[in-house]
Amino acid sequence: MSSHAPRKPSPAATGAAAANDAAAAPDLGERRLYLNRELSQLQFNIRVLDQALDERTPLLERLKFLLIFSRNMDEFFEIRVAGLKGQIALDHELLGADGMAPRQTLAEIGAIAHRQIERQYAILNERILPELAAHGIRIARRDQWAHRQKQWVRRYFREEVAPLVTPIGLDPTHPFPLLVNKSLNFIVQLDGTDAFGRDSGLAVVPAPRVLPRLIRMPDDITEGGDCYVLLSSIIHAHAEELFPGMNVLGCYQFRLTRNADLALDPEDVEDLALALRGELYSRRFGSAVRLEVADNCPKTLTAHLLKQFGLAESEMYEVNGPVNLARLFRIASKVNYPTLQYKPFVPALPKVLKHAEDLFAVIAKQDVLLLHPYESFAPVVDLLRQAAKDPQVLAIKQTLYRTGADSEIVDALVDAARAGKEVTAVVELRARFDEESNLTLASRLQQAGAMVIYGVVGIKTHAKLMLIQRREGSELVRYAHLGTGNYHTGNARLYTDYSLLTSDEVLCEDVHKLFSQLTGMGKMLRLRKLLQAPFTLKQGLLDLIAQEAANAAAGRDARILIKINALTDPKMIRALYKASIAGVRIDLIVRGMCCLRPGVPGVSEHIRVRSVIGRFLEHSRAYWFANDGEPRLYLSSADLMERNLDRRVECAFPIEGKKLQQRIFGALELYLADNVGSAELQADGSYRPVTRAPDEAVLDAQQQLLEKFCGTEA
C-alpha cells in the first residue's frame, strides 16, 4: 500500500477534531495559509522540466518536455512577470492572499528562474543532445563541420540568408533598432572604419524572421541519420561577410522578451475586432521584461544591451546554447524515430457510436460521454457536419474560444451557413495568443452568412457549448454538446477533456438561455441544471462544499474530489479549509497553480493536493461531492480562479446517472493512485514526487486509460 493512499478519519476522530478546531477558530484569512500564485505557476513549469530527465519517457518526448518548459517560461515572462513589473511601474502594487508584494515576488522568481534555466541548458547539453547524437540525430556545431559541410553552409548563407539580412551599424543616425518580441538577434563587436568613416564599433544583426531557425543538412554531406544546423550558427560563422573590410571581434546572439499582454479598455472600444487588430501589432513591441544572451558575451556588451532595454542585471539570463530553444520542436515533432517517440494510438469510439449513421437518433435515446484523447473527438465534428447537411436542422449556435480558422469545426459551420441554416457563433476574440486566428475565423464565418457575436464586453466567453435545433415532426427538438476543452481537433489529441452529447430537454433549454444572454440583452435567466459564471457557478460550488462540511459535522459520509488546472480563488480556498476543519476528506488534482496550502495542522490536515504530468496535458475539470451517498458531479470549463468565477462566462454541467458518474469517478481515483507522473504538494509549497513502495505495482494513470480505451501498451 502506498504511503499516499487516501485517508479516511474515523467518525469519532472527525467529531473530536471538529469540536477542537471549532473552539480554536483559526483565522482563515491568515497570509501563511496561502501560496503565491506566480511562484506556484513557476513550480508547475519546473515539474514539466523534470520530465526531461525521466528515462522511462522516450527520448524525443523528453526533448519536447524541455521545449515546452521554454514555451511556458516565455509566456510566464510575457504575462505574469510583465504584470508584476507593470504594477511596480505604476506604483499600484496589489497584494494577493499570500501577502507577498510584487517586488518580493519578482526577486524570488528571478532567483528560481535563473537556477532552472541554467539547469535546462545543462539537461539539453549534457543529456538530451548526446543521447540524440547516439541515435543519429545531431545538431552540428560550427567547430564540428566537415569541409563539405562548411562549403554547403557557406553557399546556403550566401544564397538564402545574406540577401535577407539587414545589419544595422550603431551610430547617431542609426540608433538601436526596435526589436520584435522574442526575435533572434546578434550584437556584433567591430574594429575598423567603414566607407563613410564610421567607427562606432557596434552593430546589431536581426535574424530574418522568414527563415527557419533549424535547417537539415543534405544526406550526401552527413554521416547518415538526421543532421541539423542552427541559423544562428550559420550567421555567426559568416558575420564578417556582413561587414566587408571590417574586423569582427565578436558576434553574440541575444533575444528580448517583451510584455505581450493586450491592454484594451472595453469602455473606450467601439469595434472590438478593429481595436484588437491594432493591439496585436503593439504586442510585438511591448515593454522589455527579460534579456537572454549567449553566456560568452562580454560584460561590456551585456551592459550596453541592458541599458538599451532598461533592464537590471538580474533580468538577464546567460545561456549556453540557442536563445530560441522552442525552435527545436522541428526535431521533436518532424522526425520519424518510433523507438524514441510515444507509440501512436487510435482514439476509441463508444460502442453505441461505432456503427451509428444517425447521431441524432443515438443522442435522442441516451447521453453520450467522451473522454478525450482516449475517445475520439470525431463524433463532435460529425454531429456538426450532419447538422450542416440535415434539412431538418434549422439553427446552430456555438461558442468558439480556441479553434483555428481552418478547423473542421469552422468548415462545418461555414457549410451550415451556406446551406441556409441560422448559424450563430460566439467568437471570443481575446483568447490569449489566439486573437489573430480568431479574427480570421470570425471573418470567414461572416462571409459565409453566419451571425458572429463577440460575447460580452469586459467578460471573456470561455464556456464550451454547441446547440442544434432540429424539426422532428411538429416539434422543435434540441441537441447539445457541452465540453471542458476547446473546439480544436488538434488539442483533442493532446489534451484530456470531457465531452457530453445530450438531448436532455432541461439541459438543452439551459444552453439555449445561456446563448440568449450572450447574444441579446436582458436580466439574468434562471437555469435549472447549469451553473453559470459569473452568476451562479461560484455560489453553487460554495454551497456544495458547505453541504459536505455539514455532512461531516453530522457524522455522515463526506468527501470532495476535484480535478482542475488551477486553484487561486481565496473564497474557494477558505471554503475548502472550512470543510477540512469539519472533517471532510478532500482530494484535489490540480495540474498547475495551487494557492491552497495543504497539511497545515488544524486547518488543512484532511486536504491532499496532487499534480499529474504526463504524455497528455491534463485539462479536464471535474467537481465530485459525496453528498451522503448520493453523489453530485459536475464537469466544467472553469477552474477555481477569480477570473473564471467572477469575470468570465463559464458553465458547469451535471453528470446524472450512476453509470456515467462512476466512469468519471473511476478515472479520478486512478489519478489519485498514479505513482508515475504524480507529485504531491507539501505544506511549504514544494512538490514531492509520489514514490512506490518496494512491493507496489507501477501505475501510470494515463497509460492505463490508453490501454483501457485504445489497447495501446507502453
pLDDT by residue (tens digit) across 646-676?
A: 999 999 999 999 999 999 999 999 999 999 9
**Cα 192 versus chain centre, distance:** 49
State yes or no: 36 annotated in a binding site: no
Question: For residue 257, what pLDDT band results from cuts at 50, 70 and 90?
Answer: very high
Q: How confident is the model at residue 267 (pLDDT cuts 50, 70, 90)?
A: very low
Asked whether the beta carbons of 668 and 588 are under 8 A apart, the reply is no
Residue 21 confidence (pLDDT): 46
Please determine, for residue 114, whether its predicted confidence score (pLDDT) is greater than 50.
Answer: yes
304 is catalytic: no
Cα–Cα distance for residue pair 154/148, rounded to 1 Å: 10
Q: Which residue has the higher pLDDT, 643 or 90?
A: 643
Which of these ranges, 423-437, 450-464, 695-709, has the smallest mean pLDDT?
423-437
Residue 580 CA to residue 562 CA, distance in Å, equals: 14
Question: 687 labelled as ligand-binding?
Answer: no
**Does the pLDDT value for residue 262 go beyond 60?**
no
Q: Are 273 and 267 in contact (CB under 8 A)?
A: no
User: Known binder of ligand: residue 385?
Assistant: no
Report pLDDT digits (tens) over 234-254.
Answer: 999 999 999 988 899 999 999
The Cα 591–Cα 241 span in angstroms is 50
Confidence of residue 488 (pLDDT cuts 50, 70, 90): confident
Among 331, 364, 393, residue at a domain's last position? 331
Q: Residue 470 annotated as binding?
A: no
Q: Which helix (H) or strand (E) holds 201?
A: none
213 found inside a domain: yes
Residues 571 and 550 grouped into a single domain: yes
Could you list the residue range(s) of the whole structural domain that residue 236 is in? Answer: 146-331
Q: Answer yes or no: do 523 and 536 share one domain.
A: no
Sheet holding 168-169, edge to edge: 168-169, 202-206, 184-191, 247-258, 288-294, 316-319
Query: Is the pLDDT assigned to residue 6 strictly greater than 50?
Result: no
Look up residue 555 and give its DSSP letter: T
Which among 4, 236, 238, 462 is annotated as catalytic?
462
Buried b (16+ CB within 10 A) or exposed e, 306-339: bebbebeeebbbbbebbbbbbbbbebbeebebee
- Cα gap 129→134, rounded to integer Å: 9
Q: Which of 279-288, 447-456, 624-633 has the highest mean pLDDT?
A: 624-633
Give the whole-number percent of the chain exceeding pLDDT 70. 91
Could you tell me if 582 and 701 lie in one domain? Answer: yes
* Number of neighbours of residue 192 by Cβ within 10 angstroms: 13
Last residue of a domain, one of 503, 527, 551: 527
429 and 543: one domain? no
Query: What is the average pLDDT value for the chain, to the nearest integer?
Result: 90
Domain-embedded: residue 138: no
Asked whether the predicted pLDDT for residue 465 surpasses 60, the reply is yes
Helix axes 11-24, 537-553, angle to 10 degrees: 110
Residues 366-384: pLDDT tens digits? 999 999 999 999 999 999 9
Whether the pTM exceeds 0.85: the reply is yes
Helices 408-418 and 378-389 cross at an angle (nearest 10°) of 10
Position 314 scores a pLDDT of: 96
- Residue 185 covered by a domain: yes
Total domains present in the chain: 3
Q: What is the pLDDT of residue 522?
A: 74
Q: Do 635 and 653 share a structural domain?
A: yes
Give which of 553, 61, 124 is closest to 341, Cα–Cα. 61
Say if residue 3's pLDDT is above 50: no
- 172 upstream amide cis, omega within 30 of 0: no
In a domain, 56, yes or no: no
327 marked as binding residue: no
| Nearest alpha-carbon partner for 634 in 568, 540, 565, 550 | 540
Note the pLDDT of residue 9: 52
Pair (317, 192) in one structural domain: yes
DSSP, collapsed to helix, strand or coil, labels residue 600 as coil
Contact present, 44 and 611 (Cβ < 8 Å): yes
